[in-house]
């Protein structure tokens, strides 16, 4: 069967015979893939002109809800994907990481919408005061890039590799063209078909290339974003493409790296941490048959523990049953194909010149439920390098399969040096029960790693493991690992947004951003804001409250109610050497009194106080000071109804500016209220 590409709103098979794809377990030919005849320039242009405008019109909240709906749809189809995934050589557990891990990224980024405004854009950071009197300010606004995200993915995670990237660019409002590695693209195509068939995405949001994408970079433009996951050599070649340099195209690279796992010098044989270490390394060597960019390639052990680790890890590897994932008891499947198997064997033979194999055999191993000569099967291979500072191939050559090397170190500083000899890694882990050792390692090794996992008995049970990048944390690494970043929660979304500095008056910037900028003009109404429904409120709408003069009785009464008898409030004889010239009112009393001034007591659209942000007490308030409040609608955030019975509502952020008789601010805070909508449909 010939796989199809999804191009300009339709499925189409490439011309010619194309590349033959094989079942990694049986060796049988199952598909062919070709992209011959696909116009890559027209494909990218279609994404920019069709998908981009539709996505950019949606708000972050609408895009997030779109991701959630898509995740739920794919979750309902996951068993179909598991059946197809078997042909990639993956076990059920391997496929869980790929399939449900990928869908989990959609869910994670759907939830992230709540950290963005209900707008098609967002503002970032605080205002910059650019003038003495505050009439001229600056801010940063972030809008979706008007290009396309081109994702060039590796063969090892045909589902996760696609979904972990598109979740981010779709939330940002940017369409995508996905180019999976052809060898496992049959699984990517199956998922992409369900995405398109769901009708959840605006047309043009996703296009797919199953065959070769050679030449696509000739058509990229300055607003596009290119991401690459795979070998460092291929990534460097793509990164140097003249078109990327000419158009200044953003290129994000995540390359395979020589990740390491360190057994802390405090860990003894038979301890809980020792067992954690052995299990973690064995799992990382055999999950996906070692075909993970985050897999453990270098195992660093105190020199007096090498023999214990060698024996324990060898026993655990010996219990790893290799074979057809559909056969009961099998724990490790095949590599993705014969080509990958050939490459790994070549690298093992190269590493064998400078270090010795202490477990495993390239030829003599058993396979359960399949013919090892037809499938792409391989035994785990464990090396020992007794002098890793002299024999350095281990720090330069990666066998992208179930292959790793034990090496000794004398102290934690030497372990740090060895870890950094990998010249940049996606991830490193250290298993230790001593937090002082953990701190020393993290501070020493962090500059050369994208992520560091510290494992001990406290967190091992719930840990996601050495090899599992998490959606809300960055995935990437310096040096050999490519120097890029993926995911990372909000950080990842900003890769697809253009950050632009805007300057003007506070009122103008308020009207542009739909967020009140301090110093902007007030909108005063005849009706108290707490009597107005969510839809009726305007950003900038301000209540100027009545005033109250602070008395010593206020301070004493608040101390009695709150139990806060801090000396600055209660003991005028203890103020020498402080900034205070007399007894000072509690900051929280000032804020509480402010609430008493701005709150309307009668029942109305305000349902509840939702929280407090950014509270600052900027000037001491002494007895005799008269305070008032400028209470301003700062921002409105829509909320979707959870069900038909739920109340239609939104969150309103209010700027509480408490000032004294001189007009100077003494306290400032942002409070949040939940406000009912007038329209409950």
Catalytic residues: 254, 293
Contact partners, residue 164, CB within 8 Å, separation at least 6? 101, 102, 105, 469, 471, 475, 486, 487
Tokens at 429, concatenated:
């882990």
Contact partners, residue 333, CB within 8 Å, separation at least 6? 24, 25, 89, 90, 91, 94, 289, 322, 323, 324, 325
How far is the C-alpha of 299 from the C-alpha of 281, rounded, in Å? Answer: 8
Question: With DSSP H G I counted as helix, E B as strand and the rest as coil, what are the percentages for the chain, rounded to 5?
Answer: 35, 25, 40
Burial status of residue 577 (CB atoms within 10 A of its CB: 0-12, 13-18, 19 or more): exposed
**Bridge partners (DSSP) listed for residue 397:** none
How far is the C-alpha of 224 from the C-alpha of 498, rounded, in Å? Answer: 11
Sign for the pseudo-dihedral over CA of 489, 491, 492, 497: positive
State the DSSP code for 663: S
How far is the C-alpha of 465 from the C-alpha of 66, rounded, in Å? Answer: 30
How far is the C-alpha of 270 from the C-alpha of 309, rounded, in Å? Answer: 11
Three-class secondary structure of residue 320 per DSSP: coil
Task: Encode 523-543: b = buried (16+ Cβ within 10 Å), e = exposed.
Answer: eeeeeebbebbbeebebbbbb
Contact partners, residue 673, CB within 8 Å, separation at least 6? 530, 606, 607, 608, 609, 610, 651, 652, 654
Cα-Cα-Cα-Cα torsion 413, 415, 420, 426, nearest 10 degrees, comes to -130
How far is the C-alpha of 4 from the C-alpha of 18, rounded, in Å? Answer: 11
Strands (E), 433-540: 452-455, 474-477, 484-487, 497-504
Tokens at 647, concatenated:
């109340």
H-assigned helices in 199-305: 232-239, 242-247, 272-286
Sign for the pseudo-dihedral over CA of 90, 94, 96, 97: negative
Between CA 208 and CA 214, with CA 211 as vertex, the angle to 5 degrees is 100
**Nearest residue to 486 (alpha-carbon basis) of 148, 173, 165, 176:** 165
- Residues making up the chain, counted from first to last: 681
How far is the C-alpha of 595 from the C-alpha of 610, rounded, in Å? Answer: 14
Residue 39: count of CB within 10 angstroms of its CB: 12
Task: Encode 372-411: b = buried (16+ Cβ within 10 Å), e = exposed.
Answer: bebbbbbbbbbbbbeebeebebbbebbbbbbbbbbbbbee
The phi-psi region of residue 133 (left if phi > 0; otherwise alpha if psi is between -120 and 50; otherwise beta) is alpha
How far is the C-alpha of 416 from the C-alpha of 425, rounded, in Å? Answer: 13
**Nearest residue to 391 (alpha-carbon basis) of 377, 373, 403, 405:** 405
Tokens at 414, concatenated:
């030497």
**Nearest residue to 206 (alpha-carbon basis) of 166, 172, 258, 245:** 166
């Amino acid at each position: 069967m010939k796989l199809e590409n999804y191009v300009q709103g339709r499925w189409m098979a490439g011309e010619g015979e194309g590349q033959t794809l094989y079942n990694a377990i049986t060796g049988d030919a199952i598909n062919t893939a070709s992209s011959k005849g696909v116009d890559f320039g027209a494909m990218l242009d279609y994404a920019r002109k069709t998908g981009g405008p539709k996505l950019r019109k949606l708000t972050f909240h609408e895009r997030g809800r779109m991701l959630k709906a898509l995740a739920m749809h794919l979750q309902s189809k996951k068993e179909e994907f598991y059946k197809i995934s078997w042909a990639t050589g993956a076990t059920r557990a391997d496929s869980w990481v790929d399939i449900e891990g990928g869908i989990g990224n959609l869910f994670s980024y759907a939830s992230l919408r709540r950290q963005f405004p209900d707008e098609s854009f967002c503002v970032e950071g605080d205002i910059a005061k650019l003038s003495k009197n505050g009439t001229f300010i600056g801010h940063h606004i972030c809008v979706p890039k008007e290009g396309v995200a081109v994702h060039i993915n590796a063969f090892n995670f045909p589902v996760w590799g696609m979904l972990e990237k598109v979740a981010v660019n779709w939330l940002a409002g940017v369409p995508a063209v996905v180019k999976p590695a052809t060898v496992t693209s049959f699984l990517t195509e199956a998922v992409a078909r369900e995405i398109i068939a769901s009708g959840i995405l605006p047309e043009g949001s996703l296009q797919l290339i199953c065959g070769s994408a050679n030449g696509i970079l000739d058509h990229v433009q300055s607003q596009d974003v290119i991401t690459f996951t795979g070998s460092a050599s291929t990534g460097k070649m793509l990164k140097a493409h003249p078109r990327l340099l000419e158009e200044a195209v953003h290129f994000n690279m995540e390359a395979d790296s020589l990740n390491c796992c360190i057994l802390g010098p405090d860990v003894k044989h038979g301890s809980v941490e020792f067992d954690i270490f052995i299990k973690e390394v064995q799992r990382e060597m055999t999950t996906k048959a070692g075909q993970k960019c985050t897999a453990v390639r270098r195992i660093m052990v105190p020199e007096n523990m090498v023999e214990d680790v060698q024996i324990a890890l060898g026993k655990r590897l010996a219990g790893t049953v290799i074979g057809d994932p559909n056969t009961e008891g099998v724990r490790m499947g095949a590599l993705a194909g014969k080509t990958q198997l050939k490459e790994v064997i070549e690298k093992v033979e190269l590493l064998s010149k400078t270090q010795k194999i202490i477990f495993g055999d390239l030829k003599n191993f058993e396979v359960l439920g399949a013919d090892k000569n037809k499938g792409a099967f391989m035994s785990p291979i464990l090396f020992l390098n007794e002098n890793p500072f002299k024999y350095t191939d281990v720090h330069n050559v990666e066998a992208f399969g179930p292959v790793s090397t034990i090496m000794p170190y004398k102290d934690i500083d030497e372990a740090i040096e060895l870890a950094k000899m990998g010249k940049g890694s996606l991830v490193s882990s250290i298993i230790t029960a001593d937090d002082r050792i953990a701190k020393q390692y993290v501070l020493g090794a962090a500059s050369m790693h994208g992520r560091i996992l510290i494992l001990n008995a406290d967190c091992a049970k719930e840990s996601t493991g050495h090899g599992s990048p998490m959606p809300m944390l960055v995935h990437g690494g310096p040096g050999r690992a490519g120097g890029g970043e993926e995911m990372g929660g909000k950080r990842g979304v900003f890769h697809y947004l253009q950050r632009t500095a805007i300057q003007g008056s506070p009122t103008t910037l308020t009207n542009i951003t739909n967020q009140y900028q301090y110093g902007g003009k007030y909108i005063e109404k005849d009706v108290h804001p707490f009597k107005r429904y969510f839809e009726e409120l305007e950003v900038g709408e301000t209540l100027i409250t009545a005033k109250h003069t602070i008395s010593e009785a206020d301070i004493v009464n608040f101390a009695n109610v709150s139990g806060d008898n801090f000396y600055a409030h209660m003991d005028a004889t203890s103020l020498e050497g402080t900034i205070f010239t007399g007894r000072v009112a509690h900051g929280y009393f000032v804020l509480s009194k402010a609430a008493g001034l701005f709150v309307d007591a009668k029942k109305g659209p305000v349902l509840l106080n939702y929280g407090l942000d950014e509270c600052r007490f900027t000037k001491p308030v002494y007895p005799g000071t008269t305070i008032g409040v400028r209470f301003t609608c700062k921002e409105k955030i829509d909320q979707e109804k959870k069900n038909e019975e739920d109340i239609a509502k939104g969150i309103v952020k209010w700027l509480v500016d408490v000032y004294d008789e001189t007009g100077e601010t003494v306290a400032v805070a942002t409070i949040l209220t939940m406000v009912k909508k007038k329209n409950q449909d």
